[in-house]
Amino acid sequence: MAKKKSKKKQVKKTEKKVAEKKTVERDKFGSVVGSKNAQINACLSKTTPKSMHRLVKQAKLSGTYYDHLNFLVKQKLVVKSKDDKGKNQFVLK
């Protein structure tokens, strides 16, 4: 049997490129600018309490964002209240 000749390939050392961390622009609530959460944040008002339905409609989104708004309530950035029909309303603090 013939022996197989092994050829060692020379491995070129390439410079490892280190990924640069991109700085992400954030709004005053900490959400990434342009995200769906930031669109909801932009619809919040200091004077007019708004329901979830109204916020979603104004932001031109679908679904609900109760998790996000409840997070803002816990951070004491938004106040949650009930309207006369018992529905949640949100207003900036």
| Whether pLDDT at 26 is above 70 | yes
Instruction: Return the beta strands (E) in 26-77 as ranges.
Output: 50-51
In a domain, residue 11? The reply is no
**Coil vs helix vs strand at 17:** coil
Number of domains in the chain: 1
- Across the strands, what pairs with 91? 79
Q: What are phi and psi of 57, to 5 degrees?
A: -65, -45
CA angle 33, 36, 40 (to 5 degrees): 90
Mean pLDDT of 26-51: 95
- CATH code at 86? 1.10.10.10
pLDDT at residue 3 in the model: 62
Q: What's the rounded Cα separation, in Å, for the pair 82 and 91?
A: 11
Q: Find the domain containing 76 and state its range.
A: 36-92
19 lies in some domain: no
**Residue 64 · residue 52 · CB < 8 Å:** yes
